[in-house]
């Protein structure tokens, strides 16, 4: 029977909600893919500090997850995405993107190969109609399994120690690989992946084991600075890592109302992902043409003078010619500098005489500042510990 009072709780609660709501001292909630998710639990600075100096838990349940399985699963994904899904080993993970026929970005995400004929695609936006249309003619089944999985990110330099203390032997687990472990009468999959650019893991289980998993990790992490973090701290960490987000750093093609807002993988600095030799994939011909003539836009990392976050700032060349926009920015507590990600005209991708027009709120009035900006390599923060196998022991 339909719940006639559903309007009172318009957002779904994740399997971890009893724990995240109890810890959310600020009651700072925001919607993510139809779920209520925490923005900041109690102290943003301390949450970010834990990502870089201890260990953190982040509720990943709202992230969209699709199961793609069948004898043609690899062939279907090769037609859909720009990377070669057939070359991804079982137990492996890779980052990928997919486009429309015109080569414009639809979304990015991570692809997990769970078995020879079964994959999981995780992403920001919902794409089931697109995926089903793209699967026409392939022997493949595509299922939205978002609600069937409880997912948790365990990130930070002590994350491996926490997992060891919880009884999981992850010493041989390499970056972008996953392994399965027994847990509480069920199973737990641990992948060495994450969105912080640091040592970290993502944990995948069934909703009925969500609370036992949370409690097991918090008990094991009590001596190692483990704390839950919200999306605001994660956003600072992902900016330091130079990672992009659909809907913030680029507008997904199906959402674009203005033709000049469409972007391709080449224009977003993602050309290195494209496997040109694997055969036809959606958008390949358009991307080949763009590669030949050169992209109109580029995506760059910036360091900006001053200590005011430059999010949304317009970029100028020589203080007068508009050449781009900053899509994400923050004052980096780790690097002690103002950093940003930006879309710029391709001819300005190497920088030189760039200025950011920043409006800073000063006691109810905005102060306009023109601050010098310098193009720098991404990632801004790239610690060796995220690649070490086995991870360092404290």
- What's the chain look like in SS3? CCCCCHHHCCCECCCCHHHHHHHCCCCCEEEECCEEEECCCCCHHHHHHHHHHCEEEEECCCCEEEEEECCCHHHHHHHHECCCHHHCCCCEEEEEEEECCCCCEEEEEEEEEEECCEEEEEECCCCHHHHHHHCCCCCCEEEECHHHCEEEEEECCCHHHHHHHCCCCCCCCCCCEEEEEEECCEEEEEECCCCCCCCEEEEEECHHHHHHHHHHHHHHCHHHCEEECCHHHHHHHHHHHCCCCECCCECCHHHCCCHHHCCCCCCCCCHHHCCCCCCCCCCHHHHHHHHHHCCCEEEEEEEECCCCCCCCCEEEECCCEEEEEEEEEEEECCCCEEEEEEEEEHHHCCCCCEEEEEEEEECCEEEEEEEEEEEECCCCCCCHHHCCCCCCCC
Lowest mean pLDDT among 3-12, 79-88, 243-252, 367-376: 3-12
Q: Is the pLDDT of residue 197 over 90?
A: yes
Domains in the chain (CATH in brackets) are: 9-61+149-229 (3.30.1360.120), 64-147 (3.30.70.1400), 296-384 (2.40.30.110)
Mean pLDDT of 353-364: 92
Lowest mean pLDDT among 37-51, 185-199, 357-371: 357-371
Contact 20, 229 (CB under 8 A): no
Q: What is residue 64's predicted lDDT score, i.e. its pLDDT?
A: 97
Q: What is residue 219's predicted lDDT score, i.e. its pLDDT?
A: 97
Angle of CA points 361, 362, 365, to nearest 5°: 75
Buried b (16+ CB within 10 A) or exposed e, 279-312: eebbbbebbeebeeeebebbbbbbbbbeebbbee
Contact 150, 175 (CB under 8 A): no
Contact 339, 302 (CB under 8 A): yes
Q: Is the pLDDT of residue 88 over 80?
A: yes
Mean pLDDT of 40-65: 98
Neighbours of 23 (CB within 10 A): 16
Mean pLDDT of 88-116: 97
Residue numbers in the known binding site for substrate are: 202
Q: Closest Cα to residue 341, out of 245, 216, 209?
A: 245
Higher pLDDT, 143 or 6: 143
Mean pLDDT of 23-29: 97
Q: Is the pLDDT of residue 120 over 50?
A: yes
Indicate the Cα dihedral angle 327, 176, 36, 128, nearest 10°.
90
Contact 104, 282 (CB under 8 A): no
Mean pLDDT of 147-174: 97
Mean pLDDT of 359-384: 93
Mean pLDDT of 203-209: 98
Residue numbers in the known binding site are: 202
Neighbours of 228 (CB within 10 A): 23
Contact 108, 250 (CB under 8 A): no
Which band of pLDDT confidence, cut at 50, 70 and 90, is reported for residue 161? very high
Which band of pLDDT confidence, cut at 50, 70 and 90, is reported for residue 394? low
Q: Is the pLDDT of residue 264 over 60?
A: yes
Q: Is the pLDDT of residue 387 over 80?
A: yes
Lowest mean pLDDT among 6-10, 156-160, 297-301: 6-10
Q: Is the pLDDT of residue 3 over 60?
A: no
Q: What is residue 392's predicted lDDT score, i.e. its pLDDT?
A: 79
Mean pLDDT of 229-247: 97
Q: What is residue 10's predicted lDDT score, i.e. its pLDDT?
A: 82
Q: What is residue 1's predicted lDDT score, i.e. its pLDDT?
A: 42
Mean pLDDT of 299-310: 95
> Which residue, chain included where needed, has tokens 């999010």?
311
Which band of pLDDT confidence, cut at 50, 70 and 90, is reported for residue 4? low
């Amino acid at each position: 029977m339909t719940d006639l009072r559903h309007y009172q709780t318009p957002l779904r609660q994740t399997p971890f909600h009893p724990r995240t709501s109890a810890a959310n001292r600020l009651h700072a909630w925001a919607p993510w893919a139809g779920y209520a998710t925490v923005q900041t639990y109690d102290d943003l600075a301390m949450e970010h500090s834990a990502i870089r100096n201890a260990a953190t838990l982040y509720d990943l349940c709202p992230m969209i997850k699709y199961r793609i399985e069948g004898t043609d699963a690899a062939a279907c994904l090769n037609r859909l995405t720009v990377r070669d899904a057939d070359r991804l080993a079982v137990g492996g993970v890779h980052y990928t993107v997919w486009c429309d026929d015109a080569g414009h970005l639809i979304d990015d995400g991570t692809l997990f190969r769970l078995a020879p004929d079964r994959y999981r695609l995780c992403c920001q936006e919902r794409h089931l109609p697109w995926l089903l249309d793209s699967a026409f003619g392939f022997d493949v089944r595509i299922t939205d399994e978002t609600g069937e999985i409880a997912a948790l990110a365990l990130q930070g330099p002590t994350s491996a120690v926490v997992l060891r203390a919880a009884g999981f032997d992850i010493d041989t687990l390499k970056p972008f690989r996953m392994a399965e472990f027994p847990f509480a009468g069920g199973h737990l999959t641990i992948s060495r992946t994450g969105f912080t650019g640091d040592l970290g893991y993502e944990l995948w289980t069934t909703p009925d084991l969500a609370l036992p998993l949370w409690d097991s990790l918090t008990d094991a992490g009590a001596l190692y600075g483990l704390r839950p973090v919200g999306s605001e701290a994660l956003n600072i960490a992902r900016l330091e890592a130079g990672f992009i987000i659909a809907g913030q750093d680029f507008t997904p093609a199906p959402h674009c109302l203005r033709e000049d807002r469409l972007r391709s993988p080449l224009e977003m600095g993602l050309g290195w992902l494209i496997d040109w030799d694997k055969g036809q994939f959606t958008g390949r011909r358009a991307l080949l043409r763009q590669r030949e003539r050169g992209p109109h836009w580029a995506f760059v990392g910036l360091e900006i003078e001053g200590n005011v976050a430059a999010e949304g700032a317009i970029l100028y060349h020589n203080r007068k010619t508009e050449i781009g926009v900053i899509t994400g920015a923050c004052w980096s507590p780790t690097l002690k500098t103002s950093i940003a990600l930006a879309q710029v005209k391709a001819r300005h991708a190497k920088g030189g005489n760039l200025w950011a027009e920043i409006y800073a709120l000063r006691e109810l009035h905005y102060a306009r500042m023109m601050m010098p900006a310098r193009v720098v390599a991404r990632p801004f923060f790239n610690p060796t510990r995220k690649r070490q196998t086995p991870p360092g022991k404290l």
